Structure formats: structure tokens, C-alpha cells
Homo-oligomer: A and B are copies of this chain.
Amino acid sequence: MASRRLRVLGIDPGLTRCGVGVVDVAPDRSAQLVHVGVVRSDATAAIETRLAAIARGIRSVLEEHRPDVLAVERVFAQQNRHSVMGTAQASGVALLLAAEHGIPASTHTPTEVKAAITGYGSADKRQVQTMVARVLRLDELPKPADAADALALALCHAWRGGAPQASATGALTPAQRAWADAERLARR
């Protein structure tokens, strides 16, 4: 299906709340909200049960909305030490599901997301949320913050052209190829 838009699933990974947002982005960079939500897991459950709940939620979005690409926040060890391992594990699950659904994945840092959305890498959360709502023509700011962050990630991915995954071989990553293909189609 040679569609002229790129459908991106953004994931703000987390164990307690995992933000998921799907947007359609046209070659002129205009964007439309397709889906937004939060996948939760029971904080008292065993870690494997929690990851399975996150996987189920992401899978259902993948199957219902069939995105072209998945974008996940890149997690750093320097971040909040208490929850960072759970966040990394949830991001691993999201990336695995992308591969298993045959779609490319891409990771973006919070600074990259802020810069892509607001033009300013040190923007605060509220600025990012305001821009996301404006771009998607939403009446209200998306809530909770994890959902808004997932939409911001998805928009960031589309607007950056899936470029950040520098491959060790210098070749295009799957995400870069997907975007390049979408752009080529759009120019026809």
C-alpha cells in the first residue's frame, strides 16, 4: 500500500505507565492523531508478569493500527536510578515487538524530541505538550504526560526523517529507508 503518509507508533517506555501514541504524518509534515493511550501494569505483580502486560498492550496497538515504524525513547543509565532498569526492560520489549511485527524501530533522546517538537532542546514538558496538542489540533493537552511524550516521540521520528540511527556500516537503517521511501513516493 503506497500511502503518502508515514504512520508512526511512539512509545514512552515504562513499567508502571507506558505511553503509546500513533500519528499519521504527511510529506508536508502535517500530522494527524490516530491513537493515544497508556499501557499500565500492576506494580505489585512479578516483573515478568508486568513486562507481559506491557507487551500485550503494545501488541494490540501494533495489530489494530499497523504503524510503518516504531519510535522509542532512548534510555540512559544516568537517568533516575530507581526506575531506569524497568524502563530499559520495557524499551527492550517494545523494540522486540517491532522486529517481530516486521517494522523498523528507532530511538530518540529526550533532547532530540524536545528539539524536534519545539525547536529547543531544553524546552520544558509543558512546552512540548502544548506543541503536540497544537500540531495535532487537539482541544486539550494529551494526558497523562506519558501519552503526550509518546506522541512527541512519534512526531519527532517523522520530522527527523528517521535519521538518528547511525549504523556501524554507514548504510541506511530500516527506519531511514522507510522514510526515504515515503519521501520518494510523495515526490512522484
A residues with a Cβ closer than 8 A to B are 43-44, 46-49, 51-52, 55, 70, 75-78, 81, 84-85, 88-93, 95-96, 98-100, 104-105, 107, 165, 167-169, 173-174
Contacts and interface: CB of A to CB of B under 8 A. Distances in A.
Nearest to A80: B77
A99 B169 contact: no
A70 B44 CA distance: 19
A96 B173 contact: no
A104 B169 contact: no
B89 A46 contact: no
A84 B88 CA distance: 9
B105 A46 contact: yes
Tell me how many chains of this kind the complex includes: 2
Contacts of A93: 92-93, 96
A99 B51 contact: yes
Contact of A81 (B49, B77, B92, B98): B77
Contact of A104 (B48, B84, B104): B48
Given A48-B105, A89-B89, 18 more contacts: A44-B167, A47-B107, A48-B70, A48-B98, A48-B99, A51-B95, A52-B96, A52-B99, A52-B100, A75-B85, A75-B88, A77-B77, A77-B81, A88-B88, A88-B92, A89-B92, A89-B95, A91-B92
24 contacts: A43-B168, A46-B105, A46-B165, A46-B174, A48-B98, A48-B104, A51-B92, A51-B95, A51-B96, A55-B96, A55-B100, A75-B88, A77-B77, A77-B81, A77-B84, A77-B85, A88-B88, A88-B89, A89-B89, A89-B91, A90-B92, A92-B92, A92-B93, A93-B96
A161 to B, nearest CB: 16
A85 B88 CA distance: 6
